[in-house]
Amino acid sequence: MDTTPVSSVPYSSPVVGNANIGKSRRRWRWIVWPVAIVLVLFTLAVLAFHGYVAWMLARPAIAPLSSNPLKAVGLPYEDVRFTSSDGGSALDGWFIPAAGSDKAVVFSHGYGGNREELWVPFYSLAKELNKQNYNVLLFDYGYVRPDMSVTGGVRESLELQGAIDFVKRKGMKHTYVWGFSMGAGTALQTALHSKDIEGMILDSTFLLEPDTLYHNIKQRVDLPKFPSLPLIRFFFPIVNGTSMNQIPSQTVKETTYPMPILFIHGMKDAKAPFEIVQQLYDHQASTQKTSLWLLPEGRHELIYKANKREYVKRTTSFLNAVASRSP
């Protein structure tokens, strides 16, 4: 019987190829997953860091009160409490009376300070004003309390108006605001709507806006402007309930105010660039009621300490001139 020979053909099992592919995929998973996890953790760390920065900016460390007007400079005073103009904040302060006077100066303290502002200090200025027969109100903004945060003037402007309303209830017919740093910026925000401010002294004016925010952050931590500034602005309303878009900084810079203003600023101010106050002054110069004292060596909120005699002379002369024009 004939038999047909069967040729032998080499056979390669496809299982071997599939196994190689499987091994390759497993190797890629071992590479991709750790990289993905690292990227996710890095992103979360970046977000957490910028959220923390926004939280810290909204809650500065503020020293407790160390004295009072009587102990510090021998001025009798009253402990007072009042609310912001919208009733949303309860505020504490000291009212320093001047016998027979219906003129009051309301101090507006800066970021990170309280009604003392010892680095200025407010006590010394209050004593000078008392000599000139001005009543004085020193008060704490709401964020001095640990349960409240800084809003860049949004809520603080209502608190300042509440302080002005308070001295009016005390019988004051003429009210002036003396602001420092962010307290000066807050005064400008209040003056956009208030009809009760007859004059303002604004020392080292600080407006919270993106450029000044980044300018100050970079002095403490060398962060890139992108993505740090957008991230901090993103977290700002989350941690304190107020968006930077609510701060009317551009409106402030473009407004011509009806009341006289004395701007005081140093060209070596590392926190509030003097170009901003120059721009503010330029919008007021046409009124011929506003002046700018710009000091080449002046630093943030330290102008009084460096030039006490000239500082007192210029500020009291300004207030007395404004008061003399009041009916």
Residue 11 inside a domain? The answer is no
Considering only CA atoms, which of 283, 115, 279, 102 is closest in space to residue 198?
102
pLDDT band at 17 (very low <50, low <70, confident <90, very high): low
Cα separation, 213 vs 174, whole angstroms: 34
Domain final residue pick, 246, 271, 296: 246
Which pLDDT score is estimated for 27? 65
pTM above 0.75, yes or no: yes
Same-domain pairing of 253 and 280: yes
Same-domain pairing of 222 and 255: no
Single-letter amino acid, residue 124 = S
Which pLDDT score is estimated for 93? 98
Residue 12 inside a domain? The answer is no
Domain interval for residue 225: 17-58+211-246
Cα separation, 21 vs 97, whole angstroms: 88
Same-domain pairing of 30 and 120: no
Residue 6 inside a domain? The answer is no
Q: Domain total for the chain?
A: 2
pLDDT band at 24 (very low <50, low <70, confident <90, very high): low
Residue 36 inside a domain? The answer is yes
Residues in the chain: 327
Residue 140 inside a domain? The answer is yes
Q: Where are the alpha helices (DSSP H) in the chain?
A: 14-58, 69-73, 122-131, 156-169, 182-191, 210-220, 225-240, 249-254, 274-284, 303-306, 308-324
Same-domain pairing of 160 and 300: yes
Same-domain pairing of 180 and 320: yes
Same-domain pairing of 230 and 115: no
Measured distance between the N- and C-terminal CA atoms of the chain, rounded to whole angstroms: 140
Q: What is the CA radius of gyration of the chain?
A: 31
Residue 7 inside a domain? The answer is no
Cβ burial, residue 214 (10 Å; 0-12/13-18/19+): middle
Q: What is the CATH number of the domain that holds 78?
A: 3.40.50.1820
The tens digit of pLDDT for each residue in 44-97 reads: 888 888 888 888 888 899 999 999 999 999 999 999 999 999 999 999 999 999
Residue 64 inside a domain? The answer is no
Give percent above pLDDT 90 in the chain.
71
Q: What is the mean pLDDT of residues 177-196?
A: 98
Same-domain pairing of 219 and 261: no
Cα separation, 152 vs 235, whole angstroms: 14
Same-domain pairing of 262 and 285: yes
Which pLDDT score is estimated for 52? 85
Tokens, residue 124 = 């010394």
Residue 5 inside a domain? The answer is no
Same-domain pairing of 266 and 201: yes
